[in-house]
Amino acid sequence: MFAKTKAGELSGGNKRKLTLAMTMIGRPKIVIIDEASAGVDPASRRLMWNAIKEECKDSATVLTTHTMEEAEAISDKIGIMV
């Protein structure tokens, strides 16, 4: 569907999905994700959460988010900063 589309021409949500996919290439040992699903539709958001949980299970992953629903869906441990 987007195979011939340049990254700069993608919507904000699709840019986030592309960035996440690029992050997971090579299964890095440390993954830092900032607002992974901001601007992504609800159905894709759940798919992203599942992908992060599955693909990053052998990585140390740091996720920043404004939504507790996202933190609870992805994380084993949660820290809250105020």
End-to-end CA distance of the chain: 41
Q: What is the pLDDT of residues 18-57, one digit of tens each?
A: 999 998 899 999 999 998 888 889 999 999 999 999 998 8
Q: Which of 54, 60, 46 is nearest to 17 (CA)?
A: 46
User: Residue holding tokens 């052998």?
Assistant: 58
Question: Does residue 1 have a pLDDT over 80?
Answer: no
CB atoms within 10 A of CB 3: 4
**7-74: what fold?**
Rossmann fold (3.40.50)
Average pLDDT over residues 2-25: 90
Q: What is the pLDDT of residue 82?
A: 83
Q: What is the 3-state secondary structure (H, E, C) of 8-28?
A: HHCCHHHHHHHHHHHHHCCCC
| Three-state SS at 36 | coil
pTM over 0.85: no
Helix (H) or strand (E) holding 45: helix 42-55
Q: What is the pLDDT of residue 28?
A: 93
Q: What is the pLDDT of residue 43?
A: 92
